[in-house]
Amino acid sequence: MKKLLILGSTGSIGINTLDVIRKHSEKFSVSALTINTRIDLLIPQIHEFKPELVVVVNEIAAEKLRHTDGIKCEVLSGVEGLIYNAANCDYDILLGAMVGFAGLLPTIEAVKRGKRIALANKETLVVAGELITKLSKDYNAEIIPVDSEHSAIYQCLIGERIEEVEKLILTASGGPFLNKSKKDLDNVTIEEALSHPNWKMGNKITIDSASLMNKGLEVIEAHWLFNFPKEKIDVVIHPQSIIHSLVEFVDGSVKAQLGIPDMRLPIQYALSFPERVKNDFPKIDFRLTRELTFNKPDLNKFKCLQLAYDTLATGGTAPCILNAANEVAVDKFLKGDISFTYIPTIINKALDRIENHRSPDLETIIECDKITRRFAENLI
């Protein structure tokens, strides 16, 4: 029986993870759940999965939960609660499904305890890839990707020699604006940006998918997970989201992993690896005609993807600046304060203005995130 700490249990990945646990209750159990504010979603999870501890970061919501009838588990609050939980609770696997930079500190605590990290929270690797990969080696903590593209690559690389890999090819659906002209992007609405053609996800990653920043963050994530230079990480548009990613070898042979778009599959794989576990999730029926099409991403139209490649080339804290400015810009877009095409403008300005630091330690990363947020928030 593997015990799980789920960071972000009320989000899209968190809810899918709990469904995997529900379906394999003989293999997995829940030690602790953490959330930001939505105790209305957390309360039924507590009753069903019986964690010994929960963390509600928002103090008011945490206090409300402590006074709710029938809640017997320990309730912690604040960022300190998140960190304490990851550093002390009894668990085998940390499922990182918080959104954004906020997931970094508890993830580092789990790495330092040599736990398995099933990682959905890609921003953690984007902002602190060098530090986390070093710590994970020092403390012998395995990082197994939950992101579907990286899970696909992870699966394709098994049994292969790294020096015989020519390139990693990440697939991208292209999002809701794949066929819009560059000019039309200026006037897209929040609702249009939130309607992803293939995946139902949290708001932040859905906007990132519409701007292709999500793919940019994934290029950086792949760089750190698999130790490949950016020249060997390609992106291809594949609107059907059936091929989750590919690996090309030096002899020209290509391996791919396929599946219907359902995050429970990569989540389950990250929990059960190296075992594969039978499940009742829907499967692809190849007898039904399906088109699998491919195209080049338009880097001129989707500037965020190019910016992510550029920060990977710059290195140091550049990806941290990119991420923090993007988090602020997406938030502003979702509040209706800026247009969709102003997102890369904000990121560009932050990258221009904020000083870069090489091989940053944790303090430098935290400081860089803070400074960038302050700068980006003040831009109109």
List interacting residues with Mg ion (CB under 5 A): 147-149
Name the binder of 97 from Mg ion, ligand NAD, none, CB < 5-8 A by kind: ligand NAD
Give 11 or 344: the residue with its C-beta nearer to ligand NAD.
Answer: 11
Give 45 or 148: the residue with its C-beta nearer to Mg ion.
Answer: 148
3-class SS letters over the chain: CEEEEEECCCCHHHHHHHHHHHHCCCCEEEEEEEECCCHHHHHHHHHHHCCCEEEECCHHHHHHHHCCCCCCCEEEEHHHHHHHHHHHCCCCEEEECCCCHHHHHHHHHHHHCCCEEEECCHHHHHHHHHHHHHHHHHCCCCEEECCHHHHHHHHHHCCCCHHHEEEEEEEECCCCCCCCCCCHHHHCCHHHHCCCCCCCCCHHHHHHHHHCHHHHHHHHHHHHHHCCCHHHEEEEECCCCCEEEEEEECCCCEEEEECCCCCHHHHHHHHHCCCCCCCCCCCCCCCCCCCCCCECCCCCCCHHHHHHHHHHHHCCCHHHHHHHHHHHHHHHHHCCCCCCCHHHHHHHHHHHHCCCCCCCCHHHHHHHHHHHHHHHHCCC
Interface with ligand NAD by CB under 6 A: which residues? 8-14, 35-36, 38, 57, 97-99, 102, 120-123, 147, 199, 201-202, 204-205, 263
Closest distance to Mg ion from the beta carbon of 211 (Å): 14
Instruction: Evaluate the omega torsion of the peptide bond into residue 274 and state whether it is cis, within 30 degrees of 0.
Output: yes
Name the binder of 12 from ligand NAD, Mg ion, none, CB < 5-8 A by kind: ligand NAD
Give 13 or 110: the residue with its C-beta nearer to ligand NAD.
Answer: 13
Closest distance to ligand NAD from the beta carbon of 239 (Å): 17
Closest distance to Mg ion from the beta carbon of 120 (Å): 9
Residue closest to ligand NAD (Cβ): 11
Give 62 or 178: the residue with its C-beta nearer to Mg ion.
Answer: 178
Name the binder of 117 from ligand NAD, Mg ion, none, CB < 5-8 A by kind: none
Name the binder of 120 from ligand NAD, Mg ion, none, CB < 5-8 A by kind: ligand NAD
Give 326 or 341: the residue with its C-beta nearer to ligand NAD.
Answer: 326
Question: Following CA atoms 102, 107, 109, 115 in sequence, which dihedral angle do they give, to the nearest 10 degrees?
Answer: 160
Name the binder of 129 from ligand NAD, Mg ion, none, CB < 5-8 A by kind: none
Nearest to 76 by CA among 42, 126, 111: 42
Name the binder of 78 from ligand NAD, Mg ion, none, CB < 5-8 A by kind: none
Closest distance to ligand NAD from the beta carbon of 94 (Å): 13
Name the binder of 13 from Mg ion, ligand NAD, none, CB < 5-8 A by kind: ligand NAD
Closest distance to ligand NAD from the beta carbon of 59 (Å): 12
Closest distance to Mg ion from the beta carbon of 156 (Å): 15
Give 122 or 303: the residue with its C-beta nearer to ligand NAD.
Answer: 122
169 forms beta bridges with 234, 246
Give 26 or 244: the residue with its C-beta nearer to ligand NAD.
Answer: 244
Give 84 or 199: the residue with its C-beta nearer to ligand NAD.
Answer: 199
Give 222 or 229: the residue with its C-beta nearer to ligand NAD.
Answer: 222
Closest distance to ligand NAD from the beta carbon of 364 (Å): 21
Closest distance to Mg ion from the beta carbon of 170 (Å): 8
Closest distance to ligand NAD from the beta carbon of 31 (Å): 16
Residue closest to Mg ion (Cβ): 147
* Sheet-wide strand order for 2-7: 74-77, 53-56, 28-35, 2-7, 93-96, 116-119, 143-145
